[in-house]
Structure 1
């Protein structure tokens, strides 16, 4: 089977979970950016100069969407590398790979795994909303009904694909692999961690401000990926004014759960600045559960449901600095220790092994056990 993604595969947690799930069952071939992931039978590497998204405003404005798609450099390069091959099935990651996957010689068809709700991914940007959103809707209308099956990351996003495009998508969350750990007792200083992409729309500065003048015994470490370097520099300067906040360097994905386990509470705070963030159920949520730390979240519906069902942490009243500060002021070692015990009790059911059954079901429906697993 081919696992296809126009992303750096070794840094894409969701794709790595798929590879880990299937490499022992099928002959897995991967195609994407960067070097081969561990354990695959073969890897087809796309030239990093070949960008995976359209940069063609003229054709977008003219709504020549077929031309737009097949002139995306990453799509064209992947098609050139794969077009002479035959696969048992294709697992296509994200909307931008689905037409490509459907064009390949696949004996049993295509499963589409959608990491976002594509038509609203950057809906806050007027140019994107005017030019790219209609193109994304075209991709959904013309390609998703032709996929044999579809999964996505949360119930809210699955619901929207159904409402807008009639697509019945199953949910496979961004759960982390199960880790056998014991909760670490909370000391007199409560240590918090927030690991995030460094993107301005995430409003990370609000989290830093919540720690300004915080009482002693509460500290925050930030791990921020340099997606927008200028913005990350601003955050570092701001944190320099807040003694309770420090930055630490990013760590490889496979070390992230152990890193989070050094802390007592993880902040999974995603202001709903766009549709996908409002419906998010992110990696960091599940990594905290496997690390056996408590959680502080905002009122994000998908996260709230799990936090309350399993007793994993606290829900702030809103996404404001004041709302987060109220929760921080309520923290005690005893409260946090209770959250850690509940995380330990929920770790198995909230693990990737349990949550990934949607992929197992979809791929098993494509790849009959008696068929060639090429």
Structure 2
């Protein structure tokens, strides 16, 4: 059998890349801040993220396959096509469970990236096997190159996205994830040839490119909606830039006192669906995390619903001082100070925080507080 000549529609190739990027951004955004949520909330969000990521991988694959141009008419087996989508969702869900219910280490990141890398390929080859009246043929070199590239690229994507759970980390991780899914598909296709066959081996009903296009459009439409919803959250203005009413705020109540002196204010944080409190004296630093903040104590990293602007305002009279637009620090926990050219660094000896940047405009305040 002579291999068939094939090509791709450039517009659909570009569209497949955008689908991969949207799914990556949506899934990675949904999983941000899960460690501060209850177990039930984590499970729900992991399911949604797995559907976004896994469904996006499937959609990207079949958007690209819609752009595959062959000189013959061919169909897809509906049952196998559906199975390929379920495989993608399941392997992504497994990887997210590992990342959010196991202790996150370099090993778990590599394991999760490998699982997704192999899952992307499993979905790809299973989806290709759904082709009827046309058979895909592979070479060992093509398969080997696909496996290596898929695992390496997905490990890199998860390492970046989960190495720094900030908006910037998610955006960069999205780019790596989208490129990984996109590149793996076309690396695998480059090692594939197609031949015409006369025998139908259907498991379920046959679907044409037109019917498949409707399914892909619907899945992509849902993905676009989820992408826009998560994007609105990311692009919302910081708390400090929101418009407020002209009505003056009530004057703060005086702090309660005891015989020992002023009672230090309490900072709320969320844990397992409850609001708890920690004294400002026990907080080493506060770091901005989108519209919220993280509190760092000697041993813990806690999630606080205050924005960095609100924390700065509420704690103006406390031990914490602002050293950077994204950080407040408690000088009592600073174990070292390093002066750089135009800024500085405060060093800490706490479990989840080792150093905090000091902006140029805050250097004098920090040096005065530290007595250096």
Scaled by the length of structure 2, the TM-score of the pair is 0.25
- Which structure shows the higher helix fraction? 2
In terms of Rg, which structure is larger? 2
